[in-house]
């Protein structure tokens, strides 16, 4: 019974992790193809892929600020954690737990770095597909095991290392085979899957993708050690962690100069926004902070919040490596089923 519970826990967390990259890709606007331009280019002897690359027609874009999603889910997670803490314990005890500065000091650096990682992930999703992010995510399995061995001295047996590598390679091979044998810009295969907007965009996105992998694995190993050696309730831990994420996100926003302007603009100013939502004209009213959000964006934010608590709960009972094989399972399974939202 205990083994079945662990398997269910791993698959639940891994399924959410495999879903998130496609949700981020689904938040991109759909590309608009200029049929006449493609027809003229094809008539002159250019292939469709060359046409799409030249006219940048295969690349979607965010019409909202990705920073707002990271900040919103962090703030809401903190509020939910504070509410749950005061519902679970007395007010005095809740204040003591929430103001435990030792716990805050241990979590603060990791939470702040995770904010940078989330922004890097969203930035990479501008230029590469959700499938590409999933392929890169499979490298986290051996990387996480390696960091766990280096930092915690908790190694794997030779057979376990072999299985980790085989699982990672099979997951990557499955997705790559499903996409086809080309990685150039534009649509690939009958289902219109694609790798990146262009070869240059793929190269520019690699540091972002690798940085996110390192941050994710390092944070997972740190969280495994902290959560398994701490008597702090899960809700309180999430408050401390996401408070640090808020600080990290605000620091990044200040560095990028986004404290006002685009984020809190009340109109779609053509000088501020190069991309507008469908059927929106320059000068139209805009909801500050939430401008450009649609149903996909709200689903993404809700799943990020749920994922915060699922992963933290898993780390109390399982290892930082355990969700990676499950994620590979969901990645492979997800590629064989048509998704209802068209991702």
- The string of pLDDT tens digits covering residues 15-59 is 666 666 666 666 665 544 455 555 555 555 554 444 444 444 444
Q: How high is the pLDDT of residue 342?
A: 37
Determine contact, residues 293/263, Cβ cutoff 8 Å: no
Higher pLDDT, 339 or 64: 64
pLDDT for the residue 340: 37
Asked whether residue 265 is domain-assigned, the answer is no
Residue 181 falls inside a structural domain: yes
Q: Is residue 46 part of a domain?
A: no
Is residue 268 in some structural domain?
no
At residue 45, what are phi and psi to the nearest 5 degrees?
105, 0
Tokens of 26: 């689904």
Q: Quick one: pLDDT at residue 258?
A: 56
User: How many other C-beta atoms can be found within 10 angstroms of the C-beta atom of residue 255?
Assistant: 8
34 within domain boundaries: no
Average pLDDT over residues 160-184: 65
Q: Which residue has the higher pLDDT, 100 or 140?
A: 100
The mean pLDDT value for 265-274 works out to: 83
State the first-to-last Cα distance of the chain, in angstroms, to the nearest integer. Answer: 35
Residue 242 CB contacts under 8 Å (≥ 6 apart), including other chains:
74, 75, 77, 78, 81, 111, 308
Q: CA-CA distance, 172 to 123, in Å (whole number)? A: 22
Q: What is the number of other CB atoms lying within 10 angstroms of the CB of residue 240?
A: 25
182-193 pLDDT, tens per residue?
A: 444 444 333 344
The CA distances from residue 158 to 148, 161, 235, 323, in Å, are 15, 5, 37, 20
Does 57 map to a domain?
no
Tokens 């965010």 sit on residue:
62
pLDDT tens per residue across span 103-116: 788 777 777 777 67
**Which range of residues forms the domain containing residue 172?**
2-27+65-257+288-336
Whether 126 is in a domain gets the answer yes
- 59 token code pair: 């690349």
| Predicted TM-score of the model (pTM) | 0.62
Structure tokens at 194: 């694609």
Q: Cα(294)–Cα(41) distance, rounded to whole angstroms?
A: 34
Highest mean pLDDT among 93-97, 149-153, 178-182, 267-271: 93-97
Question: How many separate domains does the chain show?
Answer: 1
CA torsion 328→330→335→338, rounded to 10°? -170
48 class by beta-carbon count within 10 Å (0-12 exposed, 13-18 middle, 19+ buried): middle
Distance CA 48, CA 34 (A): 12
Compute CA 141 distance to the chain's CA centroid, rounded to the nearest angstrom: 16
**To which H or E segment does residue 170 belong?**
helix 158-179
**How many CA atoms are closer than 13 Å to the CA of 217, on its beta-carbon side?**
25
With H, G, I as helix, E, B as strand and everything else as coil, classify residue 235: helix
pLDDT at 56: 41
Q: Output the pLDDT for position 200.
A: 67
Separation CA 107–CA 226 (nearest Å): 8
106-118 exposure pattern, b = at least 16 Cβ within 10 A, e = fewer: bbbebbbbbbbbb
pLDDT digits (tens, 9 = 90+) for 126-136: 677 666 776 77
Q: Tens digit of pLDDT for each residue in 72-89? A: 999 999 999 999 999 988
Reported as a pLDDT band with limits 50, 70 and 90, residue 210 is confident
- Residue 207 scores a pLDDT above 80: yes
| Closest C-alpha among 312, 293, 319, 316 to residue 16 | 312
Distance of CA 221 to the CA centre of its chain: 18
**Residue 342 domain-assigned (yes or no):** no
Q: What's the angle, vertex CA 22, arms to CA 16 and CA 28, rounded to 5?
A: 140
**Which 8-state DSSP code applies to residue 266?**
S
């Amino acid at each position: 019974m205990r083994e079945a519970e662990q398997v269910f826990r791993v698959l639940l967390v891994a399924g959410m992790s495999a879903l998130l990259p496609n949700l981020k890709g689904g938040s991109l606007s759909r590309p608009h193809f200029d049929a006449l331009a493609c027809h003229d280019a094809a008539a002159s002897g250019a292939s469709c892929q060359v046409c799409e690359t030249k006219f940048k027609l295969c690349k979607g874009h965010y019409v909202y600020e990705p920073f707002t999603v990271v900040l919103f889910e962090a703030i809401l997670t903190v509020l939910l954690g504070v509410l749950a803490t005061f519902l679970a314990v007395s007010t005095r005890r809740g204040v003591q737990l929430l103001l435990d500065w030792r716990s805050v000091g241990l979590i603060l650096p990791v939470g702040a770095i995770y904010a940078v990682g989330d922004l890097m992930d969203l930035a990479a999703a501008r230029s590469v597909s959700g499938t590409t992010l999933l392929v890169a995510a499979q490298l986290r399995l051996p990387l996480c095991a390696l960091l766990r061995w280096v930092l915690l001295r908790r190694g794997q047996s030779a057979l376990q290392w072999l299985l980790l590598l085989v699982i990672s390679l099979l997951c990557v091979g499955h997705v790559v085979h499903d996409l086809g044998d080309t990685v150039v810009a534009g649509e690939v295969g009958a289902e219109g899957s694609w790798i990146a907007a262009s070869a240059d965009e793929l190269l520019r996105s690699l540091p972002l993708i690798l940085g996110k992998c390192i941050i994710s694995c390092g944070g997972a190993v740190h969280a495994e050690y902290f959560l398994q050696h701490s008597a702090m309730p899960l809700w309180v831990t999430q408050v401390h962690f996401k408070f640090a994420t808020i600080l990290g996100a605000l620091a990044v926003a200040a560095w990028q100069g986004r404290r006002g302007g685009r984020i809190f603009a009340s109109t779609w100013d053509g000088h501020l926004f190069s991309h507008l939502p469908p059927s929106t004209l320059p000068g139209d009213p805009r909801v500050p902070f939430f401008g450009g959000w649609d149903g996909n964006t709200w689903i993404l934010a809700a799943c990020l919040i749920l994922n915060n608590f699922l992963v933290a709960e898993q780390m109390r009972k399982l290892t930082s490596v355990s969700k990676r094989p499950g994620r590979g399972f969901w990645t492979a399974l997800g590629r064989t089923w048509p998704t209802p939202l068209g991702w």
